[in-house]
């Protein structure tokens, strides 16, 4: 946000902020429902996992990656600091869900990848989540479902990129969860 837009008392009804203002309460509603709901717990039960959410996020990131990742890459994707991810990876390793492999470009470094058991559990978890969301919007038209995916993806990418500029300007990194 520019300093000039921060000084406004409230956006006028014709400004671009009006659309964003309409979305903010909906994002808050969705975040609240997902945080309170049992969807994540049910998906973990379906995958026979008993992990905390950060560990589950790390496993999902690793499973969706096209290749094994360094701790720093996982941290970047989770938007947290490396030591936090190191603890999560150690827990996933202890449970046999991920393992370390040598980095072919740097023999001193390790890369992390899911084990077959970890990949299968992550897929089951994601299929449960996707199935639930698919059921929730099953009466939407194909066009509406496509528009949701396209616009939500664009929104997430643009917000992430814009927030990254705050980090580049010396703002503190996001708090660990």
Q: What is the pLDDT of residues 24-41, one digit of tens each?
A: 888 888 888 887 778 888
The answer to whether residue 55 sits within a structural domain is yes
The answer to whether residue 86 sits within a structural domain is yes
Quick one: 33 and 97 in the same domain? yes
Quick one: 94 and 31 in the same domain? yes
Quick one: 29 and 91 in the same domain? yes
Statement: residue 3 has pLDDT above 80: no
Radius of gyration over alpha carbons of the chain, in Å?
Answer: 19
Quick one: 85 and 108 in the same domain? yes
Q: How far apart are CA 145 and CA 28, in angstroms?
A: 21
Q: How far apart are CA 44 and CA 38, in angstroms?
A: 10
Beta-carbon count within 10 A of 69 CB: 21
Domain count, the chain: 2
CA atoms within 13 A on the CB side of 58: 32
Burial 74-91 (b: 16+ CB within 10 A, else e): bbebbbbeeebbeebbeb
H helices present in 7-38, as ranges: 17-36
3-class SS at 52? Answer: coil
CB 50 within 8 A of CB 44: yes
Per-residue model confidence (pLDDT) at position 101: 95
Quick one: 48 and 83 in the same domain? yes
Task: Tell me the pLDDT tens digit for each residue of 49-108.
Answer: 989 889 999 999 999 998 999 999 999 999 888 888 999 999 999 999 999 999 888 888
Per-residue model confidence (pLDDT) at position 177: 43
- pLDDT higher for 141 or 166? 141
Per-residue model confidence (pLDDT) at position 176: 45
Q: How far apart are CA 57 and CA 31, in angstroms?
A: 16
Quick one: 84 and 161 in the same domain? no
- pLDDT higher for 56 or 9? 56
- H helix and E strand count, the chain: 8, 2
3-class SS at 65? Answer: coil
Q: How far apart are CA 99 and CA 120, in angstroms?
A: 14
**113 forms bridges with which residues in the sheet?**
99
Return the axis-axis angle of helices 71-78 and 53-64, rounded to nearest 10°: 110
Quick one: 91 and 163 in the same domain? no
Domain span at residue 121? 20-126
Least confident of 123-127, 131-135, 153-157, 160-164: 160-164
The answer to whether residue 1 sits within a structural domain is no
Statement: residue 133 has pLDDT above 80: yes
Q: How confident is the model at residue 169 (pLDDT cuts 50, 70, 90)?
A: low
State pTM to two decimals.
Answer: 0.73
What percent of the chain has pLDDT above 70?
85
Least confident of 18-27, 64-73, 109-118: 18-27
- pLDDT higher for 18 or 127? 127
> At 5, which helix (H) or strand (E)?
helix 3-6
- pLDDT higher for 4 or 85? 85
Quick one: 80 and 154 in the same domain? no
């Amino acid at each position: 946000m520019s300093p000039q837009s921060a000084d406004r008392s409230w956006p006028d009804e014709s400004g671009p902020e009006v659309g964003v203002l309409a979305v903010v309460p909906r994002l808050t509603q969705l975040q609240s429902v997902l945080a309170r709901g049992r969807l994540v717990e049910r998906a973990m039960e379906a995958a026979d996992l008993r992990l905390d959410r950060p560990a589950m996020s790390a496993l999902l990131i690793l499973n969706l990656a096209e290749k094994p990742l360094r701790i720093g890459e996982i941290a970047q994707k989770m938007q947290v600091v490396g030591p936090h991810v190191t603890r999560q990876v150690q827990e996933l390793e202890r449970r046999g869900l991920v393992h370390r492999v040598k980095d072919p470009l740097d023999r001193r470094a390790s890369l992390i990848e899911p084990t077959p058991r970890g990949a299968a559990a992550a897929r089951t978890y994601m299929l449960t989540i996707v199935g639930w969301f698919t059921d929730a919007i099953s009466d939407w038209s194909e066009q509406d479902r496509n528009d949701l995916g396209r616009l939500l993806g664009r929104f997430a990418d643009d917000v992430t990129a814009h927030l990254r500029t705050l980090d580049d300007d010396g703002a503190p990194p996001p708090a660990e969860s």
